[in-house]
Structure 1
């Protein structure tokens, strides 16, 4: 490792040129930060900074002061390095096959072939190998973060019930808010002098923002929040999706308003309300009450014998024998055979496509022809259909997701702070 650090630290490793904030700078590659057993190189800092600058310009925003932007990008690279190192320690790996499948999916979402997508990436000034590795790292970071943070989250029925009360109080058309967020971090051990200094900075920012300063540019320059480099946008959130500290303040905001600094365990927060819109609607689905008998081919019963057997069972039903009796006697679906083949009331998309297609085409009490799926041969009978109001179930599901997301964001910030506190990090002085 020491050999690696010495080698990377030499200013003669390599030389390259880059356009950096519209100035031609000669960059000699070197280490700009030591992060546990990894390093951050000047070349990567320049590349990522240029990428952020390009994104800011595409959003038609002003590029902030270069040194401030570099500090933000370096902080992001350090945090990414810590997460990647953990991912590798716990065995997270993304194979080329999985990476190619992800790239193909992304290309398809953009209505492009993989080759067209590759050409577009290159046309935008990126190299394909670096783009692939950036995506691989992004997936690895996401996996390790989701795995570690999710295990730290506990959600009780009581919490869901309490949130449901809030959701119901807000009404079916509860308001959603498009918010911007700036975080000025404070350590738990911060001294009164440090707190006063950060609060003074926050109050000055609020004054500027209320005076018309561009929120997105200030977020990019000053915020330590996860969304800082995208202008601090939190996207659309209902009050129930916000921490209580934020929700209490947002309730009283009008479009364009900026909050006073809000203190939490992470530091001081500044919010701006961009837009509002209304939201929660009733939710219903068409459920189907269905039953089936399954014959599965095996070492004794080949495909033709299985088809012959299901046809025989079907004919016996048509001749007047009871469906449920024959299901008990013949069905290879042991989970439903004892129930007479009853699959009970099912939501759309519950079963495999071939089964769903035939089921949806049947009239009530109509017996299907034999249906082939990956499980074997079925005969299907629809016993009823109903329009099921699932608004309350949907609300409960929504409440769980809200709590999970809220706690995930809080726990992710704490986890990243712990990672940094436990790591050896040294910024290499450029002078």
Structure 2
């Protein structure tokens, strides 16, 4: 059957398309230029793509290769697109008109123009809006076909991610700079054990004063034996490679934050303070610890009754007559948290649906919300606590994974296209002279 279709296509390719026999004169309207498996590429498609390339080149003052080379490139592009569209049809992939209109509206928004502005520019370039819409539809479909087929060819290991994070950290360490404050509680020459213990005691007292809010610069001027004591202990801006090894190790171990020390060396006990940083990416997110009871309205339980039930639960818990955890275990319809007494644990509030997230934003630790309606049902929410968590490592991991995925996706896309092209029946037909 496959070969029968190909033979039919080949026959059509060699036929002249004629107008009505009023004049009995043959007029070439279009012709099949390439047979691509179960599809064809028309000469008009090739000429249109070549015209688009020439127009873009003229707008960007770019030179182009010979007509023959340009035609070859256009044919190859159309062959791949045709194969992708055939695959999309087999997969049942489609883009509806509303989806297409929304995509074009998004394109206009990103360019800070209106859809009417896009229409006007297309008219100026001699491109019909219908052709533009169909080209966008085709891009969406071929893009989804590519993603669906290439994504499953990609596998990323933890070792690859860790290795890239190490490289990123090394590059970051070279760029990161710290403005260090330094206080040295020095030893006398040839210190005795008693001298060392005395210096350690004084260093501990300095740490206590600093933790209690004392001014670092004032204490450095008064107590430090370091060369920068008169500058308030300010060592200036240093990167890891330019500061003393002992300091570099301590700064890295403490993630470059706050007070560090006392650190013992041959000179005495050192106390460091990271006063500022630059060239360092640090990501912090607020997390919330909350619990809830979820009641889902049904044919039996109306919206109003579900809301009233939670109001009564709240009043009973506040009065000390009911236990929140027990109510959650007995009544909550959230299977993930009900057995834990409604406890959701620590989470980024952005992970929750909008109504739930907004309710949490208005609460202080320990407070209960009024019943909240979301797409899941009615919630009674209690905020247990808030905290700021360092998400730098998590973001590094996400970024490393994405970088590896992008690299592999590009590599595998090329491989997939080549394999798809090589396994297809392709016949380029030479123009027929009349």
Alignment of 1:31-430 (within 5 A): 31-112=32-113, 114=115, 117-171=118-172, 281-320=281-320, 321-430=322-431
Structure 2, gaps ≥5 residues long: 20-26, 177-277
List per-residue Cα deviations over 1:32-64 (Å, max 9, x = no partner).
Answer: 322222222221111111212222333343344
Within 2, Cα distance between the matches of 1:350 and 1:335?
A: 15
**1:241 corresponds to which residue?**
none
The CA deviation at 1:304 is: 0.9
Change (3 A) 1:67 1:360: same
When the two structures are superposed, what TM-score results if normalisation uses the length of structure 2? 0.66
Mark the CA change 1:105 to 1:172 in structure 2 (over 3 Å): closer, same or farther.
Answer: farther
Are 2:172 and 2:279, in contact at CA under 8 Å, matched by a contact in 1? Answer: no
CA distance in 2, matches of 1:103, 1:371: 36
What is the CA–CA distance in structure 1 between the aligned matches of 2:173 and 2:37, rounded to whole Å? 50
Corresponding residue pairs, total: 318
Q: 1:149 to 1:57 in 2, by over 3 A?
A: same
Whole-angstrom CA distance in 2 between matches of 1:280 and 1:96: 46
Q: How many angstroms does 1:119 deviate by?
A: 4.7
Cα 1:359–1:152 shift into 2, 3 Å = same
Change (3 A) 1:310 1:364: same
Tell me the CA shift for residue 91 of structure 1: 2.5
Q: 1:60 to 1:392 in 2, by over 3 A?
A: same
Q: 1:385 to 1:151 in 2, by over 3 A?
A: same
CA distance in structure 1 between the aligned counterparts of 2:424 and 2:175, rounded to whole angstroms: 43
**Does structure 1 retain, via aligned residues, the 8 Å contact 2:12–2:32?**
no
2:264 aligns with none
Among residues 6, 27, 47, which one is paired with 2:11 in the alignment? 6
Where 1:136 maps in the other structure, the secondary structure is helix
Structure 1 residue 140: Cα displacement: 1.8
Secondary structure of the residue aligned to 2:34 is strand
Residue equivalent to 1:182: none
**Is the CA contact 1:172–1:282 (under 8 Å) kept in the aligned structure 2?**
no
Judged with a 3 Å threshold, the aligned counterparts in structure 2 of structure 1 residues 297 and 374 are, in CA distance, closer, same or farther, namely same
Larger Rg: 2
Q: Match of 1:171, SS?
A: helix
- Say whether the 8 Å CA contact 2:370–2:380 is kept in structure 1: yes
Aligned twin of 2:218: none
Tell me the CA shift for residue 3 of structure 1. Answer: 4.4
- Write the deviation string for residues 302-326 of structure 1: whole angstroms up to 9, x where unpaired: 0111111010011112212433232
Relative to structure 1, the CA distance from residue 38 to residue 170 in structure 2 (aligned partners, 3 Å threshold; closer, same or farther) is: same
Per-residue deviation, residues 200-235 of structure 1 (Å, max 9, x unmatched): xxxxxxxxxxxxxxxxxxxxxxxxxxxxxxxxxxxx
Offset of residue 104 of structure 1: 3.5
Stretches of structure 1 lacking an aligned partner (at least 5 in a row): 15-25, 176-277
The answer to which of 2-11 and 88-97 deviates more is 2-11
Give the CA deviation at 1:283.
Answer: 1.8
Report the Cα distance in structure 1 between the residues aligned to 2:18 and 2:146, rounded to whole angstroms.
33
Find the residue that maps to 1:384 and give its secondary structure.
strand
Secondary structure of residue in 2 paired with 1:338:
helix
Equivalent in the alignment of 1:211: none
Aligned mates of 2:124, 2:18 — CA distance in 1: 28
Displacement of 1:120: 4.3
Cα distance in 1, alignment partners of residues 125 and 349 from structure 2: 42
Per the normalisation by structure 1, the TM-score is 0.67
Structure 1 vs Structure 2 CA RMSD: 2.8
Cα distance between partner residues in 2 of 1:115 and 1:44: 26
Counterpart CA distance in 2 for 1:283 and 1:354 is 26
